[in-house]
A and B are shown apart, each in its own frame.
Chain A
């Protein structure tokens, strides 16, 4: 039998079920008779709170630092909640005014608070109901002696519960637990946070189906797909054991690299960033160790709708990304439509050669209304993170000057309205047209950074449409002509002392990593999942070796020799 839920922490757990049943807290309905009982009830409450605080403090001092700080922070919040003056005031009020016994008073106050949080239209906040319930249960437990969760697990235990309170997961012997499954909860529940931070597979929100699991049942839990198989046969177990082993291997590689700086053995540090389209991708990229985003494609918001998004809508969209980046830099590319990217609500003229036509910055400079709306939205979002602005498809110096003038206008408008934004926001351009690569020295005087877009640069340099089956073999970013342009852009950028990055596909191609390093490139932006592989190339190489690779490649006259050579070096 298979049960499905929400996979909140990836990985495969194979083990035996341990079903946790918690003693339910219950109202007694008894009322207090006189002032003496009222005084005693309040004293009992204060004592139970004091005992509870001591318990949590003990848990904090027993907290294993290797388990990360997530758990500790939860416990700190619990100590504050236990001593919360609002909770005490409400409990005392119930005891005094309604003559409720202390057990009932606490349950009712906590229940009311839990309801408030559960009703919030914010997953994070509604998940905080679990914290309040947890401290409430702890106080109630300490009012009268009760039985806690037994903690004597065999190794490889999969915990099955209705829900897991933060203190449950923290007080468990995590080393013996292979997985978690609960009836309620979701991605922002405490059980999810804890499971993720400890790398324990977990499936939450399984619903009542989970009740069919009994103590000692054999289980396979897939934290990626969110499924649980009850009493699987031998073959299934084998299949999942293989799956688990390959997952663990991959995870270890990712983990070992995530926080490792992308530094060569002789100390040159590269910055590995991710290309993203929205806030969710930004969040995901950080998991892969991205140091920010070198290309935030804003088209995502403009596609699949019936009209242009308003400034407000754009602002919210960019702001969400800025916040998710947590202070790391995000390069926002202004609208790059036209060519192969059409909008249903914008009438593009019929063109003989759309790729050589009315697109990207050309369209934006023509339709200043569209452009300035986007620039204002980006600028407003720049108050919430480290944003940079990048203009695509720049071919001439005049284009960047005009774009900058419009940006200045947008800044002036915001300043006049008293709206805050980053006045020192960095401005850069994509280098993806051969003319721009050739006059990189002239363009460098106008901007704070370059980002090389290798996809279009290759297509324009070799005059090849890569969608055309007949000639697509000509499309090759390792062609010496393309490489010379790239090298020139990097060199001119460095001469002018501006940052040079790359956000095209070549940046995430591990065959190109050493070559690009050798050319002097230190900023690579790619799809998040490519980061670990590229990083693994960088940390094993030296800059001297990379330079040698570049020198060797310079001597070659065709892309086939170059790719063969790089392939060999990459192994």
Chain B
């Protein structure tokens, strides 16, 4: 299992567009990937669940990946939060 924290760097937070991108990204991996904000943890395969976290710009969330390809999945997640999110 790998877990990493990210600060959300987009003004609007994880709104519909980045959340959709996250769900799509997750589909490429076999690992179970979850997102945690505060004491709430949900799987990244559900757009509804991700949006219900209402993660805003500047807030910190954690991503937890578990499975055979967790390292690769986390690399993609890393790239998403550090590079792509700002532009979404």
> Which residues does A use to contact B, with CB under 8 Å?
73-74, 76-77, 80-81, 84-87, 113, 116-117, 120, 122, 124-125, 128, 131-132, 316, 319-320, 323-324, 326-327, 383-384
Cross-chain contact B48 with A77 (CB below 8 angstroms): no
Among the 9-residue stretches B14-22, B65-73, B74-82, the one with 4 or more Cβ atoms under 8 Å from chain A is: B14-22
Cross-chain contact B58 with A117 (CB below 8 angstroms): no
The 5 closest A-B pairs by CB, nearest first: A323-B11, A86-B46, A80-B47, A77-B16, A125-B54
Cross-chain contact A132 with B16 (CB below 8 angstroms): no
Cross-chain contact B58 with A384 (CB below 8 angstroms): yes
**B31 in contact (CB, < 8 A):** no
Cross-chain contact A384 with B9 (CB below 8 angstroms): yes
Cross-chain contact A319 with B46 (CB below 8 angstroms): no
Q: Which residues of B contact A131 (CB under 8 A)?
A: 16
Cross-chain contact B52 with A77 (CB below 8 angstroms): no
User: Chain B: which residue is nearest A80 at the CB level?
Assistant: B47
Shortest Cβ distance from B59 into chain A, in angstroms?
11
Cross-chain contact B56 with A73 (CB below 8 angstroms): no
Cross-chain contact B9 with A76 (CB below 8 angstroms): no
Cross-chain contact B46 with A84 (CB below 8 angstroms): yes
**B49 in contact (CB, < 8 A):** yes
User: Chain A: which residue is nearest B11 at the CB level?
Assistant: A323
Contact with A along B23-45 (1 / 0, CB 8 A): 11000000000000000001101
Cross-chain contact A77 with B10 (CB below 8 angstroms): no
Contact A323/B10 with A86-B46, A113-B48, A384-B58 known, Cβ cut-off 8 Å: yes
In Å, the complex CA distance between A324 and B46 comes to 28
In Å, the complex CA distance between A74 and B11 comes to 18
Shortest Cβ distance from B49 into chain A, in angstroms?
5
**B51 in contact (CB, < 8 A):** yes
Please, could you name 20 A-B residue pairs with CB atoms under 8 Å apart, sorted by A?
A73-B17, A73-B20, A74-B16, A80-B20, A81-B47, A84-B49, A85-B45, A86-B48, A87-B46, A113-B52, A116-B52, A124-B12, A125-B51, A125-B54, A131-B16, A132-B48, A323-B9, A323-B10, A326-B11, A326-B86
User: Chain A: which residue is nearest B7 at the CB level?
Assistant: A383
User: Chain B: which residue is nearest A125 at the CB level?
Assistant: B54
Known contacts A81-B47, A84-B46, A84-B47; 11 additional CB pairs below 8 A are A74-B16, A85-B43, A113-B52, A122-B54, A124-B12, A125-B15, A125-B51, A128-B51, A319-B58, A323-B11, A326-B86
In Å, the complex CA distance between A30 and B73 comes to 45
User: Chain A: which residue is nearest B15 at the CB level?
Assistant: A124
Q: Which residues of A contact B48 (CB under 8 A)?
A: 81, 84, 86-87, 113, 132
Cross-chain contact A86 with B49 (CB below 8 angstroms): yes
In Å, the complex CA distance between A116 and B15 comes to 15
Contact A76/B20 with A116-B52, A324-B11, A326-B11 known, Cβ cut-off 8 Å: yes
In Å, the complex CA distance between A316 and B20 comes to 27
User: Chain A: which residue is nearest B49 at the CB level?
Assistant: A86
Q: Which residues of A contact B9 (CB under 8 A)?
A: 323, 384
Cross-chain contact A117 with B51 (CB below 8 angstroms): yes
Q: Which residues of A contact B16 (CB under 8 A)?
A: 73-74, 77, 128, 131
In Å, the complex CA distance between A464 and B56 comes to 49
Q: Which residues of B contact A323 (CB under 8 A)?
A: 9-11, 57-58
Shortest Cβ distance from A285 into chain B, in angstroms?
14
Q: Which residues of B contact A122 (CB under 8 A)?
A: 13, 54, 56
Cross-chain contact B58 with A80 (CB below 8 angstroms): no
Q: Which residues of B contact A76 (CB under 8 A)?
A: 20
Shortest Cβ distance from A110 into chain B, in angstroms?
10
In Å, the complex CA distance between A320 and B12 comes to 10
Q: Which residues of A contact B11 (CB under 8 A)?
A: 320, 323-324, 326
